[in-house]
């Protein structure tokens, strides 16, 4: 079975028209690959992951073939199609949907709102500068003045849990099998290993979670206790402001988005009489932010520029001025509008 055939099998599974044997192949594969968190990958990492996943797929197919469970129309030894980009993209997209359907992150019953007392360490920051805290698991925390952090002297169980009152920046040690949870003023933030900021001041109706790296899941206590399986997923340069009074979440970009790749790589990026669409797509990759524009309308626009001067908004100001366009921020993406170039 090649990737294109497996893609069709995935689509059949989504439609609910697979045979029992075909369904068993999909479920067995999901049980293997669904254990790992999906993150943004480089081209090399994507290739390695693709090969790993395809090895898992074939393992289950071969196992089923030995028992005669797979019909002949799905059997093929044609490996050469594995590098067909279109098939890989579709397989990956459908697979992620299937994985999310089988694996809820996290399980609601794992949440606990009662802060334990025995073995609890409470750190207060009564100073005028940030206080650095190193947790037993290797997680590093910068606690803002006037804030308090509570945690067990030694993490036990399947989760690492801390309780925050105030504001702190977390650089969480990655331990996928033991999620890291931050309880802060009726809001739960869950990660496997990433860096983010939580602001939950006493008396403030808003709780803010802003992501620097990785992926973050945010839940409200009300949603959890009502068993509503709503989750807000944030990626780098995104933030969520949760209004406790209205019980509503508002997603947006952070005020000063930072590049998601190294500064050294950014310094090498310069454009000479290049299509503006190419420049915009590069900015998208540099900051991990979706930028929308009418490609047909702006197809004739070219520009000579670099992307090292200031942040993304500074670059967009100069680009839009040069092509007679404007941009606006729509939640977590940017929209460019204008008449285009002749």
User: For residue 119, is pLDDT > 80?
Assistant: no
**Do 197 and 115 share a structural domain?**
yes
**Is residue 258 included in any domain, yes or no?**
no
Coil vs helix vs strand at 71: coil
d(CA 4, CA 49): 17
- The pTM of this model reads 0.65
**Do 146 and 200 share a structural domain?**
yes
Region 23-52: mean pLDDT is 52
Total of domains in the chain: 3
**Do 97 and 166 share a structural domain?**
no
**Is residue 85 included in any domain, yes or no?**
yes
**Is there a cis peptide before residue 106, judged by omega within 30 degrees of 0?**
yes
Return the percentage of the chain with pLDDT > 90, whole number: 40
> How is the beta sheet containing 333-338 ordered, strand by strand?
290-292, 333-338, 325-330
**Is residue 328 included in any domain, yes or no?**
yes
**Do 299 and 194 share a structural domain?**
no
- pLDDT band, residue 135 (cuts 50/70/90): very high
**Do 176 and 62 share a structural domain?**
no
**Is residue 91 included in any domain, yes or no?**
yes
**Do 136 and 248 share a structural domain?**
yes
**Is residue 163 included in any domain, yes or no?**
yes
d(CA 205, CA 243): 6
**Is residue 147 included in any domain, yes or no?**
yes
**Do 249 and 267 share a structural domain?**
no
Domain residues for the domain of 278 are: 263-338
Among 20-29, 96-105, 253-262, top mean pLDDT goes to: 253-262
Q: Which of 200, 226, 253 is the last residue of a domain?
A: 253
User: For residue 113, is pLDDT > 50?
Assistant: yes
196 class by beta-carbon count within 10 Å (0-12 exposed, 13-18 middle, 19+ buried): buried
**Do 119 and 216 share a structural domain?**
yes
**Is residue 144 included in any domain, yes or no?**
yes
Q: What is the mean pLDDT of the chain?
A: 76
**Do 141 and 80 share a structural domain?**
no
d(CA 338, CA 342): 12
**Do 246 and 114 share a structural domain?**
yes
Q: Which of 253, 274, 305 is the last residue of a domain?
A: 253
CATH number at residue 149: 2.60.120.1440
E strand intervals along the chain: 120-124, 131-134, 140-143, 148-152, 160-171, 180-184, 187-191, 195-200, 206-213, 216-220, 232-234, 238-243, 248-253, 270-275, 290-292, 302-306, 325-330, 333-338
**Do 91 and 122 share a structural domain?**
no
245 class by beta-carbon count within 10 Å (0-12 exposed, 13-18 middle, 19+ buried): exposed
Stronger pLDDT, 321 or 310, i.e. the higher one: 321
- pLDDT band, residue 224 (cuts 50/70/90): low
Long-range contacts of 180-184 (CB under 8 A, 24+ apart): 180/137, 180/139, 181/106, 181/111, 183/113, 183/115
**Is residue 225 included in any domain, yes or no?**
yes
**Do 112 and 89 share a structural domain?**
no
- Min mean pLDDT across 88-102, 185-199, 245-259 is at 88-102
* Tens-place pLDDT, residues 67-104: 554 444 443 433 333 333 334 444 444 444 443 433 34
d(CA 204, CA 200): 7
CATH number at residue 315: 3.55.50.30
Q: Which of 253, 286, 305 is the last residue of a domain?
A: 253
Cα dihedral sign for 176, 180, 186, 187? negative
């Amino acid at each position: 079975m090649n990737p294109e055939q497996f893609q069709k099998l995935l689509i059949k599974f989504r439609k609910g028209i697979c045979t029992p044997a075909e369904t068993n192949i999909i479920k067995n594969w999901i049980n293997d690959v669904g254990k790992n968190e999906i993150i943004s990958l480089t081209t090399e990492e994507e290739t390695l992951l693709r090969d790993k996943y395809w090895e898992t797929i074939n393992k289950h197919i071969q196992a089923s073939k030995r028992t005669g469970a797979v019909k002949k129309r799905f059997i093929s030894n044609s490996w050469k199609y594995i590098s067909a980009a279109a098939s890989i993209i579709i397989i990956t997209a459908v697979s992620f949907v299937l994985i999310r359907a089988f694996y809820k992150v996290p399980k609601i019953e794992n949440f606990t709102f009662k802060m334990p007392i025995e073995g609890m360490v409470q750190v207060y920051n009564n100073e005028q500068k940030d206080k650095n805290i190193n947790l037993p698991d290797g997680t590093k925390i910068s606690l803002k003045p006037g804030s308090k952090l509570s945690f067990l002297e030694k993490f036990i169980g399947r989760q690492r849990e801390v309780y925050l009152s105030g504001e702190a920046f977390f650089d969480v040690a990655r331990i996928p099998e033991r999620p890291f949870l931050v309880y802060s003023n009726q809001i739960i933030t869950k990660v496997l290993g990433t860096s983010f900021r939580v602001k939950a001041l006493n008396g403030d109706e808003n709780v803010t979670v802003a992501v620097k790296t990785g992926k973050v899941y945010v839940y409200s206590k009300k949603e959890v206790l009502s068993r509503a399986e709503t989750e807000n997923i944030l990626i780098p340069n995104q933030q969520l402001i949760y209004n406790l009074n209205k019980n509503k979440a508002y997603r947006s970009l952070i005020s000063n988005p930072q590049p998601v790749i190294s500064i050294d790589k950014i310094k090498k990026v310069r454009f000479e009489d290049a299509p503006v669409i190419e420049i915009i797509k590069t900015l998208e990759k540099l900051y991990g932010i979706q930028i929308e524009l009418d490609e047909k309308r702006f197809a004739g626009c070219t520009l000579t520029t670099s992307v090292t001067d200031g942040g993304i908004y500074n670059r967009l100001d100069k680009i839009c001025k040069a092509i007679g366009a404007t941009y606006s921020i729509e939640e977590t993406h940017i929209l460019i509008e204008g008449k285009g170039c002749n």
